Structure 1
């Protein structure tokens, strides 16, 4: 059973998603993209103008930016978590500065044990499990506050297109399957900026694979030879045997739910239903109640992502499993060398 439209008695999950034509092949006939091309050129002009007028101010401590060129779903959050841990292992005190997408707070404010996703967003809460996270719509103010509170290195979450702060290291996260979609700029495609302009500021590319069974599949894109590529794989952080053969209903509100489904299949789960909500969807009590009824009728377990679990009302979290994941870097030494270059 698969559902993007309704589940049960007339309740419909919100399913605002990136349009399919964004992810067609570059040389494929793409009428919607062609019609939107003039607007993309306007977007591109604004991006270029913003970069020209940016202050690019040098910060008091090293700034490591973890971002992407496409909109959403590249694997940026687990990459940030892994680098948080790596920096702490190196004896440093990293603080993450995030804009807190989906949260109401403008900050700068630290994420605490009592913070809610409606205040600070879901990703900062997830990142705060690994160390200090400060939400700030104004990145510069956030960084200065972090420095005042003992940070000696900043992880700038999703600030690659920010022009107010100079970065000492910029890591661009790229999904190995989605890559850059149709390679067109918003709204003709998923690019926040042209690929060449993004690569011109990149220190390295983190190439993330979500499917261990397709890890050897050749990448259909030629990356610049002068930019280091650090390969990484997203893996479940659970007891694999405990999930094998389990009947599962998977639900999520993420940019690319198919990645979540692939991970579950690779665990040996039997997926009997999927429900896809819009990215960062704030679950309501009746959404979860209806999902639980459906799961019971199919004798299945409800499973969602760690990020989604944060957006489920506390009173409804019982009997729902979350699937924690982690990043494993293939060429760990290359990443450590880049970090040492700016930190030592």
Structure 2
């Protein structure tokens, strides 16, 4: 079925009339099921769990990567700077274990998943992973009873967990695009779902992205609205993270890149924008393990931090990691602290 999935994903980017006609009825069925499911949770026909701590969901209505995890890291660090005790809950997509895991030093990716492990390394925040987010939240609060706020990394459609706030990450490049729900388009829920959330971050956007979204009818006046940008740090060696380098130091090398993330082309493009000339790129499925046969032949191979956490050193000395961080404007942490009346704790 790989060829069919590829065909449909290409259709999402460049719609084809024949596929639109064939998939439109299926999209209406999917949309109806999604609407009924949300309605049943809102009316209590399906039960949901309320945790004894405020929960903020950072999610999306798109399928695939929208740059959400760097924003979670940025938000958690901003809340920590405000002396808010914050924890992260996740399902740990792609992990092998089904156990509830409190992430700590020594936790491996097969137990926690790549994104939770990366978030722990970047923030040192308490993190729990479980088959359900409510189970993760209960375990984390039992282990860290002083937590004031839980951030759910993804889970906008996980209505079995009650949430106090919903923040959606929406790619700024998709503002104004006509997009349908699955399988006729890349959306898990219709665009009008955006009007019912507490806030929206237009990822890799600008101030004008907010105005464009208003003109497109995506947002309403009483929502928090912001945008994010990405900053890239110095490259560091996978085997020796204290060794760093700038892009120009690789100018005489044969360089390649490999990525097992959502939308890997964004990573390859970022490298090229930094002045790296790539002789080969390898794009794997999101969360996939990188096998020995996947590695390209090159003097230097670049990977993401998300992939780096999956690799056990020592690895070949030609592997370099490109770290990134996100900046959210305006201050989302302040909005959350004010709305949920969170007090600073030393």
Give the aligned length.
Answer: 316
Partner SS, residue 21 of structure 1 = helix
Q: Which of residues 243, 250, 255 is equivalent to 2:247?
A: 243
Asked whether the 8 Å contact 2:96–2:110 carries over to 1, the reply is yes
Q: Unaligned stretches of 5+ in structure 1?
A: 1-13
1:126 aligns with 2:136: no
1:19 aligns with 2:9: yes
Asked whether the 8 Å contact 2:210–2:226 carries over to 1, the reply is no
1: distance between equivalents of 2:154 and 2:21? 28
Q: Which residue of 2 aligns with 1:339?
A: 337
1:339 is displaced (CA, Å) by 3.0
Change in 2 beyond 3 A, CA 1:269/1:181: same
1:57 is displaced (CA, Å) by 3.4
Q: Which residue of 2 aligns with 1:309?
A: 308
Partner SS, residue 285 of structure 2 = coil
Asked whether the 8 Å contact 1:285–1:316 carries over to 2, the reply is no
Asked whether the 8 Å contact 2:172–2:209 carries over to 1, the reply is no
2: distance between equivalents of 1:329 and 1:106? 33
Asked whether the 8 Å contact 2:59–2:169 carries over to 1, the reply is yes
Change in 2 beyond 3 A, CA 1:60/1:311: same
Aligned-pair RMSD on alpha carbons?
A: 2.9
Residues 212-254 of structure 1 show CA distances to partners (whole Å, capped at 9, x for unaligned) of 9x99996794422323321110111227981136343121122
Q: Which residue of 2 aligns with 1:207?
A: 202
Q: How does 1:78-117 map to 2 (within 5 A)?
A: 78-117=70-109
Residues 12-38 of structure 1 show CA distances to partners (whole Å, capped at 9, x for unaligned) of xx9x767111123xxx55322331222
1:182 is displaced (CA, Å) by 4.7
Instruction: Tell me the TM-score normalised to structure 2 length.
Output: 0.82
Asked whether the 8 Å contact 1:21–1:30 carries over to 2, the reply is no
1: distance between equivalents of 2:196 and 2:181? 17
Q: Unaligned stretches of 5+ in structure 2?
A: 42-46, 236-243
1:170 is displaced (CA, Å) by 0.9
Asked whether the 8 Å contact 1:117–1:125 carries over to 2, the reply is yes
1: distance between equivalents of 2:234 and 2:141? 35
Q: Which residue of 2 aligns with 1:59?
A: 51
Change in 2 beyond 3 A, CA 1:217/1:243: farther
Q: Which residue of 2 aligns with 1:11?
A: none
1: distance between equivalents of 2:300 and 2:209? 28
Instruction: Tell me the TM-score normalised to structure 1 length.
Output: 0.83
